[in-house]
Structure 1
Amino acid sequence: MRLNEFSAISTAKALLVPYDPHHVLTYHAWMEDPAIQEATASERLTLEEEYENQESWRASHDKLTFIICQPLSTGEADGTSIHAGGPDAPRKMVGDVNLFLYPYEDEDEEQPPSATPGFCVGEIDIMIADQQHRGRGLGRAAVQAFVQYIFRHLDAIMQEYAADKDMPSPPKLKMLMAKINQGNATSIALFKSLGFEQEGEVNYFGEVKLVLRHLDEFAANVPEGYAELVYSRDQNHGRPQ
């Protein structure tokens, strides 16, 4: 999405920044790991394809993406902004968190196929790529900050989503959900600790569906140190030549 192109989210435990070209080399290295490919249901891409992915994710109006980094250190922000390439340098990157939007499938069956969907669903996924950063609360902190951001900017998110699909009016967000492999007990526990509840049984693909329907109740618990910062770049900041 274009919405977060110049926005970063800082909390006491994690920093979230837009996915930029200078992140791609590290991201591509992560995705070379067969275990991460399997966990994220991703195919191996060439480096060139990964750069193309980064560009398409930025332009996509139904996907909101942040790179997860270690929390800011003293002096890395001026109070209102951070500068690309410092607090989010490759050595500080730990993973990513994403929101995918798509039409709500349980719309009224009597509604004409051509009618504008009244609701959409937001699916969240998260990856902590480096083993050394797992089990330290970074994933939980990132999801908590991410959902807080979604709540605060929900109208703008829905407007961008609707504009891309030529909808006369934005749909409403029916719920947030996460689909997690039944064997991934850590991720299931993470989302449940944040108030997501299991819906139904394990599906055909061996996934558990966890849902959050009351976004306002979740957002009442603001993460410690939550702040939205301007994400600034040099004029020539972009893909390495």
Structure 2
Amino acid sequence: MLLNAETGKHPAFWWSIYTLLSLRIPLLSSKVLLVPYSTWHVPRYHEWMQDEEIQQATASEPLSVDEEYAMQQSWRQDADKLTFIICQQISSPEPASAPVLTTESDSPQNMVGDINLFLRVDDGDEGDSPPQIVGEIELMIAEKSNQRRGFGKAALLVFMRYIIEHQSEVLEEFVSRGVDDVESVRKLREAGPLAFECFSVKIGQNNLRSLALFDGLGFDRLSPEPNFFGEFELRRTELGVQRVVGELGVAGVEGYGKAVYTRRE
């Protein structure tokens, strides 16, 4: 095994850390700014999660502040998660120049919600189907005053475009560090280039606005009836980047790009 002479670390370790960091960068658009979930976001996020309606909508239990900080670290570092805070865009983005964000860009008053990707391997109920990688998305616009303003659709489309464009890096990190079953890893790699089978979302049957949002963006319900938990699962299998680019245009979301983040944990 080849090790770095100075650190004693295998090169794959450094590749994994580099990939982990490079996948968690701010994403710009004319409507929203997505920033990696960081420690300075926790107090505002914790306030949101004390709301019983939000707890119900997200199927979450209230956590202490210390537990919330621990969860933030997990969401930031784990290979099976990709988590961003959604902020209002307060300036006109110039994607080509990769603008540097200020502390005001993702300050508490500009935070409106969060969007997450949870990766899993699906091999059927009995475990006898070829393993497939599913990307489950969770989206929350926390306060009622920020709902119905297009933040959710803009964030979802920007997020999907980024994930699709960086599919190989996202999935390589996931399979290398986030899948414990050796046989599943072997089968996934033997099947060819790593690729998503679909994007998935689970939405409570009474959350009509969220159902309408995902219905309108090509997510199909797996069943006409909600499951035992009162949720619909919707999946999108058309993951071409050009379709998402077109949907961004229809939604009036422009200026997609990346930013430079100078703040550090």
In the superposition, the TM-score normalised over structure 1's length comes to 0.87
Q: Find the partner of 1:193 among 210, 213, 216.
A: 216
**2:158 matched residue in structure 1:** 145
Q: Tell me: CA distance 1:21–1:78, structure 2 relative to 1, closer, same or farther (3 Å).
A: farther
More strand by share: 1
Shift of 1:4: 2.8
Structure 1 SS opposite 2:213: helix
**2:111 matched residue in structure 1:** 93
CA distance in 2, matches of 1:9, 1:232: 10
CA distance in 2, matches of 1:82, 1:219: 26
In the superposition, the TM-score normalised over structure 2's length comes to 0.79
Q: Is the 8 A contact 1:17 1:231 kept in 2?
A: no
Q: Find the partner of 2:120 among 102, 118, 124.
A: 102
* CA RMSD, 1 decimal: 2.3
Shift of 1:83: 2.4
Q: Find the partner of 2:72 among 50, 54, 74.
A: 54
Structure 2 SS opposite 1:221: helix
Structure 2, unaligned runs of 5 or more: 1-19
Q: Find the partner of 1:208 among 218, 232, 236.
A: 232
Structure with larger Rg: 2
Structure 1, unaligned runs of 5 or more: 112-116
CA distance in 2, matches of 1:68, 1:173: 24
Structure 1 SS opposite 2:203: strand
Q: Find the partner of 1:219 among 237, 244, 253.
A: 244
Q: After the TM superposition, which parts of structure 1 deviate over 4 Å for at least 4 consecutive aligned residues?
A: 74-78, 107-111
| 1:91-147 per-position Cα deviation (integer Å, ceiling 9, x unaligned) | 100000011111113289656xxxxx6411111110000111001111011111111
Structure 1 SS opposite 2:104: coil
* Letter matched to residue 68 of structure 2: E
Q: Is the 8 A contact 1:76 1:82 kept in 2?
A: no
CA distance in 2, matches of 1:75, 1:184: 32
Q: Tell me: CA distance 1:176–1:75, structure 2 relative to 1, closer, same or farther (3 Å).
A: closer
CA distance in 2, matches of 1:150, 1:214: 13
| 1:148-188 per-position Cα deviation (integer Å, ceiling 9, x unaligned) | 11110111110000111363537431111111000000000
More helix by share: 2
CA distance in 2, matches of 1:75, 1:202: 41
Q: How many pairs are equivalent?
A: 230
Shift of 1:221: 1.7
Identity %: 37
